[in-house]
Structure 1
Amino acid sequence: MNKREESWRLLEELSTRSDLPWICIGDFNEIMHEREKEGGNIRPEWQMKNFREAVNQCNLRDIGYIGPNFTWCRRLGARGWIKERLDRALASTNWSVMFPNVGLHHVAASTSDHCMLVLKAHRDRQRRNRRKKLFRFESMWLRDEGFKEIVTEAWDRALNMRGQHPFSQCLEECRQSLTMWNRNTFGHVGKKIAKLQEKLQGLEGRKSSINVMEEIQETKIKLNRMLLVEEDMWQQRSRNSWLNSGDRNTSFFHTKASNKHQRNTISRIKDSNNVWQEDEEIMGRIFVEYFT
């Protein structure tokens, strides 16, 4: 037990040394939840809780797995077998964003009581001829001063068309106007933030003067406004609306949004013969046959 806690403290120490993307794979000799164990004595809750807290302290998350539910097993004589998920892959948020198509596979091994852990990059399953991207309203637009004017002009323009379905025309005109405005004017939030940070860094290095200090203050205001916009964006994508607006944690929202994206990705499916299929065309036929 002491060795486990010693390794967790080492992990926490390593997490403070760099902000680079990182992933930890191997035998952690501990489970996070009781469902990760089958047979044998009941694992103390405090022991699993300490492991979970160590992982959270390192800002890591379990990337999941493909294959058997347990990675280690051993016979307990006449009492049967004990199975546990002692091996796993823990990754930082920026690592998961950098490698969204990588999955962990549990591969059975004949020479060890542990499964092999294999990181495998799944090929991008997005079709070449993707359907047109759906329009979705972005709550971050509300923070832009030009948003209200865009909607008002689009709405009035549609009303002047005097069509048979004015409400539908107004919605369609707003959709088109906001799409063009978002692409050409509002722009990419992350790039704007990076540009403002770079500008602020340059201003801070210049010799102080009234004009420079005023420009620094103005740049800080713009940067803080864009950081709020970014927070709104990731909060909306994460679908976590229960946090107060003052609880700024863009990294948390980013993690939730990334998790949701990975959950929405189907990397394989089991056919009628209980065989896993990963080929895109075969998966498509299975879906069609099932719903037919």
Structure 2
Amino acid sequence: MDEFKRALGDCALTTMHAQGPYFTWRGIRHEVEVKVRLDRFVTSNSWRDLFPKSRVIYLSPNESDHPPILLEVRNVRKRRRKRRKRFRFEEFWLREENWRRVVELGWDSATGDISYAKIANKITNKRDALLSWSHARFGSLKRDIEDIRKQLGQFFARAPSAPLCQSWLTLESKLHELLQKE
């Protein structure tokens, strides 16, 4: 590790500060959970001068033993715009028996005198029916996945000597199941 630090110094590179859990790798060695910070971004002063508003974010864990890392490269602070949420037909809906009936009911409930308005209403009603059905049947997959990722992220934040927990394995299994549906 000393040689690595020396190489960074020789190249005038420094580690960028990161948001998120401190530990970036976890594993089991001799039946003991080990956690260390392995993953990092390094930059030069000239790069930081070009992109002063850049940041590194350790994201919520996935199925890997390393959390994903996001580098946002920016020279000015980004403004947030509100976007309308797009409708997306979810492939996992096709595995359910009554998805077709939901589409038919939404399509058949449209009204309107002009043909293009009636088609637009049919599409809107079908979308709304599918979203309501999906929310009632599955809840919010994305929110559930994010909740489990946050819970898994807590394992990265705990002390390296904390004992291995069965709930960690249960959460990883549940995350895998939800990701398959997604």
TM band (smaller chain): 0.3 to 0.5
User: What TM-score does the superposition give when structure 1 sets the normalisation length?
Assistant: 0.29
Greater Rg over alpha carbons, structure: 1
